[in-house]
Structure 1
Amino acid sequence: MNELTSTQAFWLGHLFHASSRQLPLSDYAQEQALDLAALLAWEKRLVVQGLPVPPRHRPARFVAVEMTP
């Protein structure tokens, strides 16, 4: 495998950091003052280039609620 370019490493690093912190990319981009569209575009580009992109953190949309009679 070829070495990453500095640009690939920059965006891949951000994707791994967001994933490890379990933050949605939108929250992470805002926190880091990154352009969300650029982050999403690079995520797609890195996948196409065959690089190991971490899974996105997707918060649960529904929360289980236990009811007592």
Structure 2
Amino acid sequence: MMNHQLTSTQAFWLGHLHHAFSLGQTLSRYAYEQGLSFADLMAWRQRLMIQKVVVPDVYCPNRFVSVVVT
């Protein structure tokens, strides 16, 4: 991150992004369960990244499971 402190709004959204990641939840599920707008959460993730704030990775569950047919 650049050499400046986060605003309270930046800290609010960054905190939610870290919490979602620590719970291992997708952002859409996390936003729903927290009563947040998914669009706002994604917009703030993008905004923070543009501002060079380090944000956690997005949790993406495996959508496909390998199957062995014998």
Same fold? TM cut 0.5: yes
* Paired position in structure 2 for 1:24: 26
Q: What is the aligned-residue identity percentage?
A: 54
Flag structure 2 segments of 5+ consecutive residues without an equivalent. Answer: none
* Paired position in structure 2 for 1:45: 47
Q: RMSD across aligned C-alpha pairs, in angstroms?
A: 0.8
- TM-score using structure 2 length: 0.92
Pairing of 1:1-69 with structure 2 (within 5 A): 1-68=3-70
CA distance in 2, matches of 1:6, 1:15: 14
- SS for the counterpart of 1:61 is coil
Amino acid at match of 1:31: E
Amino acid at match of 2:53: L
Flag structure 1 segments of 5+ consecutive residues without an equivalent. Answer: none
- TM-score using structure 1 length: 0.93
